[in-house]
Every structure is written in C-alpha cells, then in structure tokens.
Chain A
Amino acid sequence: MFMPRKQTPEGSSLTRTQLGAVGAGLLIAGLALLVVGWSAPLVLFAKAVLVLAGVVTTSQGLSRVVWAVRGRRPDILVWLCSAWLVLLITVALLAPLLPLGEHVDVASALTAPTYQTPELLSEHPLGTNNYGLDLLARSVYGARTSLVISLLAVAIGTVVGGSIGVVAGYFRAGVDSVVGIFTNALLAVPPLILLIALGTVLDPKIRNIALALALITIPSMIRLARANTIAFAQREFVLAARAMGATRLRVMVRELTPNVMLPVFSMMIVMISVLIVAEASLSFLGLGIQAPEPTWGNMISEGEGGTMQDFPHVVLVPGTFLFLTVFSFNLLGEKAQKRWDARSAKI
C-alpha cells in the first residue's frame, strides 16, 4: 500500500528522499531552537521568540517527514492539536502521580525561589509565581479544574438541551413555542452577565460553576437539536418506523437521536472551548475557583498590579495553556462539523 509508484509525493516538486531530508533537517533545527530557547539564560521575550520559532520549525519538519513517508501531505495542524489535547488530558488525569512541583501549599514552597523565569533544565521548567509555587504544576492542576468543569457543563448542557430540542422538534406546535420562548429568553441575557450574576449567588464550587456554565450551553444545544430533528423527522424512515408500530418515544430515542447526535457532537467540541474561556473569565474576575487553588483564570489574574510588566511569564504560561487548549478544541470542533454536517453528508 505504501510502495511508492512515483518518485515525487503528491503535490511536491521534490523527490521522496529530498523531502524527507529537508523534513528531518527542519525537525532537528526546530527541536534545537526549542531546547536552546527554553534553557538559555536570556530575557523572557527572546526565549519566547526562540521557543515559538522552534515550535513552527519542528511542526514544518514533522509535516514534511510524514509527507515523505506516506506520500500524502498530512493535516499537521489537526495532528498537533489532537496531540496537545491528548497530552494535556493524560497529564491532568495523572497529575497527582507525576513528579511535579508544589502547586497549592504556600508553606511548603517557602524555600523555593519566587518569580523564577522558565528554564527547561531547572527544578521549575516553567518558573514560579510570587509564592514560589511551581507554574507547571499549577497549570496542570488548572487544566484538571478547567477540563472537569467544562466537560461536566457540556455534558449536562447536551443531555438537557439535546433532549428538549428533540422533543420540541418532533412535537412542534405548543411544546415548540414554549421551548422557543425559553430559549430566546436565555439567549437574550448576555452570557457573561448571567455568569457573573450566578457567580455572586452560588458558592464557587466545581459543581456550581459547571451548572452555571451548563445553563449557557442549553439554549444553543436546544436550537441545534431542534433544527436537525425537524429536518430528519420529515424523512420517510420516521414514518416507516411509525408504520411498524414504534411509539413516539421510540421514534425520538431510536430513530431521531442517533441522527441528531452527529452535529450535536461537533457542537459539543466547540462548546468545550467556549466554556473553558468562560470559566477562565469567571476565575479571572475572582468569581470562580478561589486562589490559591489554581485555575488558568486566577493564575492569569496574578499578573495584575504591575507583576506582568516585571515578570511576564506569570501570565504567559497559563495564557499559553489556555490559548493552545481553546485553539485545539475549536479546530477539532470545526473539522468535526465539516465532516458530519447533515447538509453535506450524502446519506
């Protein structure tokens, strides 16, 4: 299957070996840039530029190597995003077992240096904050909180919103108009204002924040599920199922829901990234999980009051984690949407 039939891989003017060599060269150069940039005792700005250049070069090299091996240009961005998410989720799951620095207990970080800049081979590869707490450990534990909250919220929102949407789309008439008023009412309130209002009333616990965020996802899930249900309910297979004696519940659960699941699933992925940002905004404002318990939002807020000017890495590190994660979820969600869009699917 992978036997080369022609020397030049698809879409490339170089031969397979040339392309592989260029790729390998770029890969090595990129990795070198990355390591040097990260460990060299330079100003943070220079380090960041070097690391960024290293990441870009590495991914270009990787792309060319895969291209040369498989003969087809890979969508390297999708692979990098997936890799980042897999890495992040694994690390977040295994956080208590990993040899990370102190993330929350200020007392045990008394001897650690404060505001240390990131250095690859030091004890704190991503530096420390004002209490000497390790930023890598805090970012990883922050990922735990962020992911748990947003996944929980999306799950609740999808189950509740999705089922309401399917019911509204299948029955139409009265149910639909009541649900429509409810959705429009929820959509009329700006989400952040609603979150802040809820945040001032509710205890800042993971469960409560997840519930508040779920409330934001519900209306858009209802709309999506409803629209897709209406489209599928007109297909003849629904009538055929009814003509074989299926109850209305059965039609909704067994016939419509599996069809509606595909677009809802891609929406879920996009929604996760929206909720990660929403959660970070809440913690940034001090309404989410309270410091010293780390979240990306409250870590970024540590840069307030001039700290960011003196020690930009305090903001840069959690900001990068947030950016990469949101970017990855967004990109994968969009790819999923394109792949499973009911309008383009030939079924």
Chain B
Amino acid sequence: MTSDYLLEVDDVRTEFATSRGLVRAVDGVSLTLRPGETLGIVGESGSGKSVLGRTIMGLITNGPSTTVSGTVRLAGQDVHAISASQRRKLWGPKVAMVFQDPMTSLNPVKKVGVHITEALRLHLGVGKAEARERAVDLLKKVGIPEPARRMNQYPHELSGGMRQRVVIAMALSCDPELLIADEPTTALDVTVQKQILDLLASLSTTLNMATILISHDLGAVEGRTDRVQVMYAGRVVETARTQTVFNAPSHPYAEALLASIPRLNDPPHTILRAIDGTPPDMANPPSGCRFAPRCVYAADNCRTDPPVLADLGTALEPHRVACHYPLPAPGVTPPDLDPAGLVKEKN
C-alpha cells in the first residue's frame, strides 16, 4: 500500500460511446506524481487533457455511455474502485480542481464567503465562525484585497481574475494534497493569466501541494512545473523534465508546439509557424502514429505502426518519447529544417 507516489495513473483509458462511434478520449495514459511535485499536461484542444484530469479526479466514471479502464491510485485508494461516497471524501481534502471558466464555476446566487465556508464546514466539520475566519485567511492567501468585505459580495461583483482567485481559494479550502488546475487561465486576459499562474506556482511550493497544471499553452507550463507531459490525440507523446522538453524536444509534435509560440525577440514580420492540418477525428484516429499525418518527418512506418513510449533518458531523469524517429539532442541539426526555426534559446 505504501508507495512514495501520491498519484499513480496506470494505463487509463476513457472512452465515450457517441452516435459517431467509440471516442477514445484518453487512450492508455500512465503517470506518477510524488507529494509536492508539479506536472504540466500540455496539448491542443481535444487532446484529452481535460478528460484525463476529470478521470483522475473520478468525476468521470463508468456510466451508460462512458467506459473507464486502468487504475488511478490517489493517496493509496483506487479512485474508480471505491464507492461514490468514499470518493466524495477524497474530493476536497485529498484532491481539488480549479476549473476553466471562473464566470460559470461560481454559483451566481451564493456569496463568495459561502462558496468557501461550505466546503470547510462539510469536510472539516468546523463551526460557522471558525470557517469564516479561515475563509478570510484563504482569500488573503490567494491575493484578494479586502478579504473580509469580499466575503459578502456576489460573484458578479468581482472581475474575472478575482473570481478565479476565489475558485482557487475554494479548491485550497480543505488543504488538498493534489490540485488539478484545468486550463485555469483560458478565460482570462493575458496579464491576469500570468498573475494566476504565478499564484498557483507559488501556492504549490509554499503549501507543498502536488499540482497538475493542464494547459494548451506551453508558455504557461514553462518554469512553473517540474515535469511536463505532452499529449496528442488521447496519448502521451513525450514526458520529461520541463527544461528538457523546452531545450531539446524529442517528439516532432512537442517541437512543433514550441515553434508555434511567437517570441518577443523574433525579427519583425516573422511568419508565425503553425502546425499544418487539424487534430485527428477521435472517433476514427489514424492507425499508426496519430501525429503522422501532420508530421514533417513522417516516414512510411509512422503511418502503419503506432510507436510506444520508449525511455531515452536515464533512470534518474526519465525522458520518454513515443516516436519512431525521435529528434536528436541539441547540436545536431535535423534534416529538412531551418535551424533558425528551432527555438532553443530562452528569453
């Protein structure tokens, strides 16, 4: 039972039966997370990151049109094997989630204070006055000015950034060991995005809380997570230390994602490098490597044999890539690619 991992996800598959056929939103993803560790999950829209996050939470379970297989062990408990009431006990004190859109993730008719005190009273059984005191502390912790006054305001009286801070305070209320932030900044404007991401990063350090940061934005993850996992079409294509992926991506998709970030030190009129094509139809994915149709390096066997995750790194620093032709380490210029297009330098 005792393992040094807080979270162990083993070969998780989440499938939805839709009218167009079976959609494998998450297709055999494994990951581990130690207490206090931070992990970034990056991928395009529809790559299965959010579904993965919700499957880890246990918010998506087996149902009439949903099948979840594989195991998710959170703090020693198999999230999908325990009863719904046992799972509810995990939510809050063990794992909490920050949602995408702070405009809809707060109840419009409940005051800010009630959002936070409710969970405190429910899970920790504290009294009304103490819950209120703790809620004010939490609001202060997430950087909300005049926390005592905000307690009595309704969500619509706060700005988007403030609301997301309230959502974060809500998630932190029961001191979770794992925080899953599902694209916490997509609905916010850029300056607020940075504030919220920095807040999450500093909170996970100060509270020693394991964090999974789900994002479609590589820049959001850079410098704020220990490890990063790149997902494409429901599968993990590359996982390594964040710096490794940023300095020397081995999977062509990770490289292409990096190349598509506009940089401030690009010369004027640089054409933004986009990835050609669109993500595959998940009801009918390509048979070989799922990225092959869009990959500039794809060879014939890429289109027929699906690559497996192979370890390129050391035992101490695993670096796993699912590619038949992983990109060479820096210093070696890959064929058919303008070296200037590869972004290796950090700004």
Residue contact A245 to B123, C-beta cutoff 8 Å: yes
Question: What are the residues of chain A within 8 A of B170 when measuring CB–CB?
Answer: 240, 244
For the complex, what is the distance from the CA of A235 to the CA of B105, rounded to whole Å? 7
Does B232 lie at the interface of the complex (its beta carbon under 8 Å from any beta carbon of A)?
Answer: no
Count A interface residues, CB 8 Å: 22
Question: What are the residues of chain B within 8 A of A246 when measuring CB–CB?
Answer: 88, 118, 122
Contact with A along B102-117 (1 / 0, CB 8 A): 0011111110000000
Does A207 lie at the interface of the complex (its beta carbon under 8 Å from any beta carbon of B)?
Answer: no
Residue contact B118 to A347, C-beta cutoff 8 Å: no
For the complex, what is the distance from the CA of A21 to the CA of B170, rounded to whole Å? 58
Q: Closest Cβ of chain A: how far from B336's Cβ, in Å?
A: 44
Does A255 lie at the interface of the complex (its beta carbon under 8 Å from any beta carbon of B)?
Answer: yes
Residue contact B167 to A240, C-beta cutoff 8 Å: yes
Residue contact A244 to B119, C-beta cutoff 8 Å: yes
Residue contact A258 to B96, C-beta cutoff 8 Å: no
Beta-carbon contacts under 8 Å, A208-250 to B = 235-237, 239-247, 250
Q: Give the A-binding residues of B (Cβ under 8 A).
A: 57, 59, 85, 88-92, 96-97, 99-101, 104-110, 118-119, 122-123, 155-156, 167, 170-171, 173-174
For the complex, what is the distance from the CA of A259 to the CA of B99, rounded to whole Å? 20
Residue contact A240 to B105, C-beta cutoff 8 Å: yes
User: In the complex, given contacts A239-B59, A244-B122, A259-B108, what are 16 additional A-B residue pairs having Cβ atoms less than 8 angstroms apart?
Assistant: A235-B105, A236-B99, A237-B108, A240-B170, A242-B91, A243-B57, A244-B92, A244-B119, A244-B170, A245-B91, A247-B88, A255-B107, A255-B110, A258-B107, A258-B110, A259-B107
For the complex, what is the distance from the CA of A255 to the CA of B104, rounded to whole Å? 12
For the complex, what is the distance from the CA of A250 to the CA of B122, rounded to whole Å? 11
B176 to chain A: closest residue by CB: A244
The contact of B105 among A236, A245, A247, A346, by CB within 8 Å, is A236
Question: What are the residues of chain A within 8 A of B104 when measuring CB–CB?
Answer: 235-237
Question: What are the residues of chain A within 8 A of B57 when measuring CB–CB?
Answer: 243
Question: What are the residues of chain A within 8 A of B167 when measuring CB–CB?
Answer: 240
A342 to chain B: closest residue by CB: B108
B106 to chain A: closest residue by CB: A237
Does A205 lie at the interface of the complex (its beta carbon under 8 Å from any beta carbon of B)?
Answer: no
Q: Closest Cβ of chain A: how far from B107's Cβ, in Å?
A: 4
Residue contact A245 to B122, C-beta cutoff 8 Å: yes
Main secondary structure of the interface of A (DSSP, over half): helix
Beta-carbon contacts under 8 Å, A321-347 to B = 345-347
B101 to chain A: closest residue by CB: A236
Query: Using a Cβ cutoff of 8 Å, how many contacts connect chains A and B?
Result: 71
* Centre residue among B85, B89, B90, B107 by max chain A CB count within 10 A: B107
Q: Closest Cβ of chain A: how far from B60's Cβ, in Å?
A: 11
B57 to chain A: closest residue by CB: A243
Does A72 lie at the interface of the complex (its beta carbon under 8 Å from any beta carbon of B)?
Answer: no
A261 to chain B: closest residue by CB: B109
B59 to chain A: closest residue by CB: A243
Residue contact A243 to B100, C-beta cutoff 8 Å: no
Residue contact A237 to B92, C-beta cutoff 8 Å: no
Residue contact B156 to A347, C-beta cutoff 8 Å: yes
For the complex, what is the distance from the CA of A261 to the CA of B97, rounded to whole Å? 28
Residue contact A245 to B108, C-beta cutoff 8 Å: no
Q: Closest Cβ of chain A: how far from B186's Cβ, in Å?
A: 12
Residue contact B118 to A243, C-beta cutoff 8 Å: no
B88 to chain A: closest residue by CB: A245
Q: Give the B-binding residues of A (Cβ under 8 A).
A: 235-237, 239-247, 250, 254-255, 258-259, 261-262, 345-347
Residue contact B92 to A245, C-beta cutoff 8 Å: yes
| Subset of 5 A-B contacts with CB under 8 Å | A240-B99, A242-B91, A243-B97, A245-B91, A245-B92
Q: Closest Cβ of chain B: how far from A210's Cβ, in Å?
A: 30
For the complex, what is the distance from the CA of A347 to the CA of B59, rounded to whole Å? 25
For the complex, what is the distance from the CA of A243 to the CA of B176, rounded to whole Å? 12
B100 to chain A: closest residue by CB: A236
Question: What are the residues of chain A within 8 A of B122 when measuring CB–CB?
Answer: 244-246, 250
Residue contact B156 to A243, C-beta cutoff 8 Å: no
Residue contact B97 to A240, C-beta cutoff 8 Å: yes
For the complex, what is the distance from the CA of A255 to the CA of B155, rounded to whole Å? 14
Question: What are the residues of chain A within 8 A of B110 when measuring CB–CB?
Answer: 254-255, 258
Residue contact B105 to A237, C-beta cutoff 8 Å: yes
A243 to chain B: closest residue by CB: B97
Instruction: Kindly list the 9 A-B residue pairs having the minimum CB-CB distance in the complex, ordered from nearest.
Output: A347-B108, A245-B91, A236-B105, A236-B104, A258-B109, A245-B88, A237-B107, A245-B92, A244-B119
Question: What are the residues of chain A within 8 A of B118 when measuring CB–CB?
Answer: 244, 246, 254
Q: Closest Cβ of chain A: how far from B55's Cβ, in Å?
A: 13
A254 to chain B: closest residue by CB: B118
For the complex, what is the distance from the CA of A235 to the CA of B90, rounded to whole Å? 23
Question: What are the residues of chain A within 8 A of B119 when measuring CB–CB?
Answer: 244-245
Q: Closest Cβ of chain A: how far from B54's Cβ, in Å?
A: 9
Residue contact A259 to B105, C-beta cutoff 8 Å: no
Residue contact B100 to A244, C-beta cutoff 8 Å: no
A259 to chain B: closest residue by CB: B109
Question: What are the residues of chain B within 8 A of A345 when measuring CB–CB?
Answer: 108
Q: Closest Cβ of chain B: how far from A102's Cβ, in Å?
A: 49
Evaluate whether A346 and B97 lie within 8 angstroms (CB atoms) in the complex, with A244-B119, A246-B122, A247-B88 already known: no
Q: Closest Cβ of chain A: how far from B273's Cβ, in Å?
A: 33
For the complex, what is the distance from the CA of A289 to the CA of B110, rounded to whole Å? 43
* Centre residue among B104, B155, B173 by max chain A CB count within 10 A: B104
Q: Closest Cβ of chain A: how far from B29's Cβ, in Å?
A: 20
Question: What are the residues of chain A within 8 A of B109 when measuring CB–CB?
Answer: 258-259, 261-262
For the complex, what is the distance from the CA of A347 to the CA of B89, rounded to whole Å? 31
For the complex, what is the distance from the CA of A247 to the CA of B96, rounded to whole Å? 15
Question: What are the residues of chain B within 8 A of A245 when measuring CB–CB?
Answer: 88-92, 119, 122-123
* Centre residue among B106, B109, B167 by max chain A CB count within 10 A: B109
Q: Closest Cβ of chain A: how far from B134's Cβ, in Å?
A: 15
Residue contact B100 to A242, C-beta cutoff 8 Å: no
Q: Closest Cβ of chain A: how far from B97's Cβ, in Å?
A: 5
Q: Closest Cβ of chain B: how far from A204's Cβ, in Å?
A: 41
For the complex, what is the distance from the CA of A246 to the CA of B123, rounded to whole Å? 10
